Each structure stands twice: as C-alpha cells, then as structure tokens.
Amino acid sequence: MIRRLLFTATGLAAAFALFAQPATASTSPTSMWPANALDLRLGAYFPGSSGDRFFGGETQLTAGLDFRLASSGGLTPSATDAYFDYMGGAKNSGYVHSGGIGLDVRALTGPAFFGAGLGLYNTSVRLTDGTSLNRTGPGGKVFAGLGLGGMTTVQLDYHIVPQALGVNPSGLGLEVGFRL
C-alpha cells in the first residue's frame, strides 16, 4: 500500500514538473521560491520513541513533496505550500509507517527559511505478534532549512503524528530537497 502510494506520488511529481511554469530571474528572496514549483525531499528520519525505533528502526526513510501555492515578497517574504510527507521503516518483524497531507507556511530570509505546517496524518503500526492498527488524525511539523544554491535545499524538521498501538512515531527528519 505504502509502496503504491510512493510510486503514485512520484508519478504525480513528474507530471507536475512537466507542466510547472518556469521561474523568472529575479534578485528577490522569492525568486528561489516561485509559485507552482514542486520540490522533492528525501532523507533520514530519527524517531523519538523507543517503540518506534524497535519496530521501525533507529534510522528510517523520510520523503516529501511540496507544491508551492503562493509566495510573496516585501519586507517579510513568505510562501505557502501544500505538502505530502512520509516517514517509515521496518524492523523485528514489525513496521511503522506515517504519512500526511497538509498546508505549511514558511518565512524566507535570503537562502534560509523556517516555518510550520498542519495536516491530516495516518500512522500504521504492526507489532512482532502480528497485531496491526491504522490511526488517522491531526498532525504537523516545524522546520528550518537552507537553500544550497541552484535548486537544492537542506531541511531539518520535527514531525508530530498520531500514535497507534502505544507507538509514537513523532521524530526528527533531515532531508535534502530538489526542485523538479
């Protein structure tokens, strides 16, 4: 299920990239963050709870797509994104997968940015004995990052996601982003 969702998200990312409007050159901080841009983020996820580390692994995969809905310049440049985030892993005959969709707002300060997002997340947990449960509920993230030049960013984020079967998959992610 998650694999199919990731393949679908990747296909959508490719389609959006194909039809996205090109950015115009500008010296403003928002030139790096044009509207209708699609970014792919890939990296490592470090869960905060021992239960998540036991069933999902100490270091897990994180991936995300950000679609820029709007950006504004001026004294306080900002951008609004629709996002999809996935975090998960498998270990000890169990697994922990979390995914969410939502909206985030980011403040832009030259190549650096920071912000927060709120959305709807689903957590799926399977324990060693085969017991499994999905739980959907509100979640969110706070993040900060830096543009590395060109169309690449590095981002540190903390995700707060729903618990399932006593496993809390909230944790810290470190990702590299690419403009598609």
State the pTM of this model.
0.78
* Domains of the chain as residue ranges with CATH: 2-20+32-179 (2.40.160.20)
- Bridge partners, residue 101, by sequence: 84, 120
Helix (H) or strand (E) holding 2: helix 2-19
Instruction: Choose among 107, 97, 109, 110: nearest CA to 159.
Output: 97
pLDDT tens series, the chain, 180 aa:
444 444 444 443 443 333 333 333 333 444 556 889 999 999 999 999 998 999 999 999 999 999 999 988 888 899 999 999 999 999 999 999 999 999 999 998 889 999 999 999 999 999 999 999 999 999 999 999 999 988 899 999 999 999 999 999 999 999 999 998
Among candidates 52, 67, 40, which has minimal Cα distance to 160? 52
